[in-house]
């Protein structure tokens, strides 16, 4: 993992806190390791936090699975709060640990306001979710975790990485979210990055945005119609139905955004997220609009 | 291998409609229920949908059992706070003479049919014993605007008590808008009183129903006056479908749109007061159902043309079908809205279980009289009458309803059962309320089945 | 007309529920005859259509009864979980 200084101009300032994970997601872009790396990263990250510009808007905590740090995660948060009191903290977690209500409460205690947790949902159907997450009880634990986060009034970003195993149920997932997870702050529907496990498992999980265009449109419009804020990450505008352009975000970290030569001719390039420079495969059908 | 969760089903538009205890609805091809019940459902997309929507589950315990329980509680959360709607019937006096009057109104100068200050004092005391944090105070009649002094007195007293009680109090004045005086509007403005009025349809229809030639003109002028003083959206209107009006669905909707309203609550006549002299309720009910369907279709068309306009009864049903939330609408609740959600303090010094209950009392039937306004709160809400009602006020446990797939979307109404069928339990096969509610709910579901892509975005926009 | 119903297939409760809805319109007599029940219904206009509807309705009630039977316990658990409140005093509604 490359360590970059925290930069006030960047849209992506994240602390990488461990490479370990208790899920083994089929499309993971950062395949987990088992080595005990928590202390090593902690020492480096604390320096980063201390030297960070005070006006930093947002700081991410990512991995691996940050909650595997246990109570050490709260130490991170307390230090961030001490040095960067106005910065919002965005934790990316599979949410399973939050099935423990006490742990969730401690997170709220440490983080207070301006705390966001991004949690992935892979499917509305339990077996598909668990299969994609590569863990037996992931679904129940994540959903219980989401309820616990909600009862602590912690903002939740629900993340759906679209792959070949879940794209066909995007509209049903949207309905499931409204009915069962109404409390989420927003839903992010995300294109896949072709890196990590996504390469290894590409024959079963890779899918082109062109192929899921209908389902993505239906899910996005549904969520919007029922009043759940929705965003699309990582899919260039030329691969999206016009009706859902307004939900697309500049989601790709500036340091890994790629535009093709074709994109130079595009009239909406400045509004487009572009492509992952880190991706080993480029989406089909990129064309200037 | 899977297990079943509780659900029911019905057949509509050549499909099977599966509904679970949460009101979640699945449209499936014929034969689905049979396959589900016989445990022979293949592992296809429908299977996944049934699992994700809490109809079936794998394993010993449903993985989302706690989510299910929480959602079940949410669907009944209108019970959490107990009575929130408090209706004060200030007088039976009225300045109009409507053909369908449901409240046995008296002439403007009649004596002995208005509420005394003593009754008002006792009623306010009772209201504040309700545990609800939100109290809606609705002034009704007769025509309550004829009782300006009493309204003023009531609001002053309520505000005084509320200084220590600190409830959120909303005031609603149900008036025909025939005579909104400046003094009354000033009072409404000062205390944020909402005006709920009524327009029957086009001018000629409205005037004919009201037994006056100038009613429409005066009502519309006063609606505009109230809007100017109180704010445009502080005035809402309820519609009542008279026997004549039942022939004019499109004209009625157009009238509401033209008057600048963004919604209409389409209501059938009640079999109370003068209206019960109508001798063919069955025929009226059938015509009303047709009226409703045509009106709803027309409203959907209006929305497609870009006019945001809502039908409120459909909204209540749709909220139950399409969202995880519930509604506080007292006529479509189980347990019923009587006592649980509404109490009526009548001008005669007694407390009744509902608006319809006090209308029965005008015909000398005091079945739903809960007690005197001066009685103890416990005697009113837990007394013998309340206990009798409670035995039959949940549609989950009365014949004909408990096996109905639509029961989660509908409600129980012991008062209506009693007034139309002679007993609180009621008999569904001949119940016209059942017939009407079922027909309308089924029609809305059929629209979703047959024209989902077209109507669902509109319906969802009504629910935001 | 008379419809013969096999009581080893259809329970009393299924038949009763079916007949409840018909009883507004027809006079109906039920006679048990061993494993069968004979249901006689007077004054039907279109017997074929009536019989078809009757069996659909009866079968649907049977499907519902299977669901109810199979979900009885889980339903109790779900409602207990949803509405268990230790701060509410129960009021006895029996006379």
pLDDT digits (tens, 9 = 90+) for B98-123: 887 766 677 777 777 999 999 999 99
Q: Which residue has better confidence, A35 or B45? A: B45
Residues of B in contact with C64 (CB under 8 A): 8-9, 403
B68 touches chain A (CB under 8 A): no
**Is pTM beyond 0.80 here?**
yes
Give the residue-averaged pLDDT of B391-409.
96
pLDDT digits (tens, 9 = 90+) for C12-67: 999 999 999 999 999 999 999 999 999 999 999 999 999 999 999 999 999 999 99
What span, in angstroms and rounded, lies between the C-alpha atoms of C5 and B444?
Answer: 35
**What is the number of other CB atoms lying within 10 angstroms of the CB of residue B77?**
11
Contact check, Cβ <8 Å, B21/C75: yes
What span, in angstroms and rounded, lies between the C-alpha atoms of B408 and B10?
Answer: 13
Span B78-351: which CATH code? 3.20.20.70
3-state SS, B385-431, equals HHHHHHCCCCHHHCCCCCCCCCHHHCCCCHHHHHHHHCCCCCCHHHC
Size of interface B-C (CB pairs under 8 A): 70
Interface confidence, given as ipTM, is: 0.94
Structural domain span for residue A190: 14-255
Can you give the pLDDT at residue A254?
79
Number of domains in chain A: 1
What span, in angstroms and rounded, lies between the C-alpha atoms of B384 and B373?
Answer: 16
Half-sphere exposure in the Cβ direction for B253 (13 Å, CA): 22
With respect to residue A262, please indicate whether it lies within any of the assigned structural domains.
no
Can you give the pLDDT at residue A189?
98
Q: Are B139 and B184 in contact (CB under 8 A)?
A: no
Name which of C63, C71, C83 is nearest B6 (Cβ-Cβ): C71
Choose from B4, B57, B78 for mutation: most chain C CBs within 10 A: B4
Contact check, Cβ <8 Å, C21/B400: yes
Q: Are B421 and B427 in contact (CB under 8 A)?
A: yes
Can you give the pLDDT at residue B95?
85
- What's A140's DSSP letter? H
- What's A248's DSSP letter? B
| Inter-CA distances, C68 with B7, B64, B73, C14, C72, Å | 8, 20, 20, 12, 6
Q: What residue ranges do the domains of chain C occupy? A: 2-83
Give the residue-averaged pLDDT of B232-249.
93
Q: What residue ranges do the domains of chain B occupy? A: 3-75, 78-351
What span, in angstroms and rounded, lies between the C-alpha atoms of A37 and A20?
Answer: 8
Can you give the pLDDT at residue A35?
87
Question: Which residues, at least 6 apart from A167, have a Cβ–Cβ distance to it below 8 Å?
Answer: A207, A211, A212, A215, A216
Name which of B37, B66, B390 is nearest C93 (Cβ-Cβ): B390
For the cut 80, the answer to whether the pLDDT of residue B250 exceeds it is yes
Radius of gyration from C-alpha coordinates of chain A: 18
Note whether C touches A: 3 CB pairs or more under 8 A.
no
- Name the nearest CA neighbour of B447 among B438, B439, B460, B456: B456
pLDDT digits (tens, 9 = 90+) for B345-383: 999 999 999 999 999 998 899 999 999 999 999 999 999
Can you give the pLDDT at residue B258?
96
Scan for tokens 């490479």, then name that residue.
Answer: A19
Ranges in chain A, pLDDT < 70? 1-4
C33 touches chain B (CB under 8 A): no
Q: Are B21 and C75 in contact (CB under 8 A)?
A: yes
Choose from C18, C52, C60 for mutation: most chain B CBs within 10 A: C60
CATH of the domain at A238: 3.20.20.70
Residue of B nearest to C56 (CA): B11
**B230 confidence band (pLDDT: 50, 70, 90):** very high
Can you give the pLDDT at residue B60?
92
The first and second tokens of residue B226, run together, are 């109230």
What span, in angstroms and rounded, lies between the C-alpha atoms of B263 and B184?
Answer: 25
**C88 confidence band (pLDDT: 50, 70, 90):** low
For the cut 70, the answer to whether the pLDDT of residue C92 exceeds it is no
Residues of C in contact with B70 (CB under 8 A): 82
The contact set of B with C (CB < 8 A) is 3-9, 11, 21, 33-34, 37, 62, 65-66, 68-70, 72-73, 76, 382, 387, 390-391, 399-400, 403, 427-430
pLDDT digits (tens, 9 = 90+) for B130-160: 999 999 999 998 899 999 999 999 999 999 9
**What is the number of other CB atoms lying within 10 angstroms of the CB of residue C5?**
18
- Name the nearest CA neighbour of B94 among B140, B150, B146: B146
Can you give the pLDDT at residue B103?
66
- What's B232's DSSP letter? G
Q: What is the largest CA-CA distance in chain B?
A: 74
User: Closest Cα of chain B to C64: distance in Å?
Assistant: 7
The DSSP bridge pattern shows strands B15-20 and B25-28 to be antiparallel
For the cut 90, the answer to whether the pLDDT of residue C84 exceeds it is no
For the cut 60, the answer to whether the pLDDT of residue B167 exceeds it is yes
Helix residue ranges per DSSP H, chain C: 12-22, 47-83
Size of interface A-B (CB pairs under 8 A): 55
What span, in angstroms and rounded, lies between the C-alpha atoms of C30 and C13?
Answer: 13
The contact set of A with B (CB < 8 A) is 123-128, 139-140, 143-144, 147, 168-169, 172, 176, 178-180, 182, 221-222, 225-227
The first and second tokens of residue B378, run together, are 């416990």
**Touching subunits for chain B (3+ Cβ pairs under 8 A):** A, C
With respect to residue A44, please indicate whether it lies within any of the assigned structural domains.
yes
pLDDT digits (tens, 9 = 90+) for B268-292: 988 765 555 556 888 899 999 999 9
Helix residue ranges per DSSP H, chain A: 38-50, 72-83, 101-111, 126-133, 138-151, 170-180, 197-200, 202-205, 209-225
């Amino acid at each position: 993992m490359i360590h970059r200084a925290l930069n006030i101009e960047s849209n992506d300032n994240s602390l990488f806190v461990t490479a370990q994970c208790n899920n083994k997601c089929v499309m993971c872009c950062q395949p987990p390791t088992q080595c005990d790396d928590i202390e090593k990263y902690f020492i480096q990250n604390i320096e980063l936090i201390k030297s960070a510009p005070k006006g930093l808007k947002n700081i991410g905590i990512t991995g691996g699975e940050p909650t595997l740090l246990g109570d050490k995660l709260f130490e991170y948060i307390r230090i961030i709060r001490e040095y960067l009191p106005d910065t919002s903290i965005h934790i990316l977690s599979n949410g399973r640990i939050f099935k423990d209500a006490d742990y969730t409460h401690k997170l709220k205690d440490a983080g207070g306001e301006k705390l966001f947790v991004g949690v992935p949902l892979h499917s509305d159907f339990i077996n598909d979710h668990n299969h994609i997450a590569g863990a037996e009880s992931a679904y129940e634990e994540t959903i219980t975790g989401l309820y616990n986060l909600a009862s602590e009034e912690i903002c939740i970003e629900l993340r759906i990485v679209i792959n070949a195993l879940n794209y066909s149920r995007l509209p049903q997932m949207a309905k499931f979210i409204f009915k069962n997870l109404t409390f989420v702050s927003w839903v992010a529907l995300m294109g896949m990055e072709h890196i990590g496990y996504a390469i290894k498992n590409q024959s079963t999980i890779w899918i082109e945005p062109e192929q899921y265009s209908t389902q993505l449109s239906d899910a996005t419009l549904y969520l919007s119609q029922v009043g759940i804020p929705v965003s699309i990450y990582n899919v260039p505008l030329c691969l999206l139905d016009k009706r859902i352009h307004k939900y697309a975000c500049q989601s790709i970290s500036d340091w890994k955004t790629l535009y093709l030569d074709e994109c130079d001719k595009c009239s909406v390039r400045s509004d487009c997220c572009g492509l992952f420079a880190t991706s080993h495969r480029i989406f089909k059908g990129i064309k200037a609009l | 291998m899977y297990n079943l969760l509780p659900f029911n089903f019905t057949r509509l538009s050549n499909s099977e409609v599966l509904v679970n205890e949460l009101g979640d609805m699945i449209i499936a091809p014929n034969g689905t229920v049979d396959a589900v019940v016989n445990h022979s459902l293949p592992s296809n997309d429908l299977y996944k949908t049934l699992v994700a929507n809490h109809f079936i589950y794998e394993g010993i315990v449903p993985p989302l059992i706690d989510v299910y329980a929480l959602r079940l509680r949410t669907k009944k959360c209108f019970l959490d706070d107990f009575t929130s709607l408090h209706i004060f019937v200030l007088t039976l006096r009225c300045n109009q003479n409507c053909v369908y009057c449901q409240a046995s109104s008296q002439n403007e100068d009649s004596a002995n049919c208005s509420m005394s200050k003593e009754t008002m004092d006792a009623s306010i005391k009772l209201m504040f014993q309700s545990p609800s944090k939100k109290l809606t105070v609705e002034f009704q009649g007769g025509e309550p605007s004829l009782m300006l002094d009493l309204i003023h007195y009531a609001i002053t007293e309520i505000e005084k008590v509320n200084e220590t009680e600190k409830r959120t109090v909303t005031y609603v004045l149900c008036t025909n808008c025939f005579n909104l005086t400046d003094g009354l509007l000033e009072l409404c403005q000062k205390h944020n009183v909402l005006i709920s009025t009524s327009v029957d349809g086009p001018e000629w229809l409205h005037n004919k129903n009201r037994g006056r030639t100038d009613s429409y003109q005066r009502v519309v002028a006063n609606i505009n006056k109230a809007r100017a003083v109180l704010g445009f959206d502080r005035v809402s209107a309820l519609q009542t479908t008279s026997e004549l009006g039942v022939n004019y669905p499109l004209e009625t909707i157009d009238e509401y749109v033209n008057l600048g309203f963004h919604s209409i609550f389409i209501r059938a006549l009640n079999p109370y007061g003068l209206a019960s002299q109508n001798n063919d309720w069955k025929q009226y009910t059938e015509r009303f159902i047709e009226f409703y369907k045509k009106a709803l279709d027309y409203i959907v068309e209006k929305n497609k043309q870009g006019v945001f306009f809502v039908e409120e009864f459909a909204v209540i049903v749709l909220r139950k079908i399409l969202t995880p939330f519930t509604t506080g609408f007292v006529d479509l609740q189980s347990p019923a809205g009587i006592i649980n959600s509404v109490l009526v303090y009548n001008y005669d010094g007694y407390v009744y279980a509902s608006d319809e209950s006090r209308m029965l009392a005008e015909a000398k039937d005091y079945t739903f009289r809960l007690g005197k306004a001066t009685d103890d709160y416990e005697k009113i809400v837990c007394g013998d009458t309340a206990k009798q009602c409670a035995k039959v006020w949940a549609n989950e446990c009365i014949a004909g309803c408990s096996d109905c797939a639509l029961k989660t979307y509908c409600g129980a109404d012991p008062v209506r059962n009693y007034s139309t069928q002679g007993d609180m339990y009621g008999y569904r096969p001949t119940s016209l309320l059942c017939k009407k509610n079922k027909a309308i709910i089924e029609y809305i579901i059929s629209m979703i089945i047959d024209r989902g892509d077209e109507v669902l975005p509109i319906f969802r926009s009504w629910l935001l | 007309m008379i419809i013969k119903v096999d009581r080893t297939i259809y329970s009393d409760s299924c038949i009763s529920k079916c007949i409840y809805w018909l009883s507004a319109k027809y006079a109906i007599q039920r006679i048990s005859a061993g494993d069968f029940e004979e249901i006689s219904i007077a004054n039907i206009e279109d017997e074929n259509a009536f019989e078809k509807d009757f069996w659909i309705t009866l079968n649907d009630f049977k499907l519902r009864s299977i669901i109810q039977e199979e979900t009885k316990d889980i339903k109790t658990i779900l409602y207990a979980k949803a509405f268990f409140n230790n701060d509410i005093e129960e009021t006895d509604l029996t006379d």
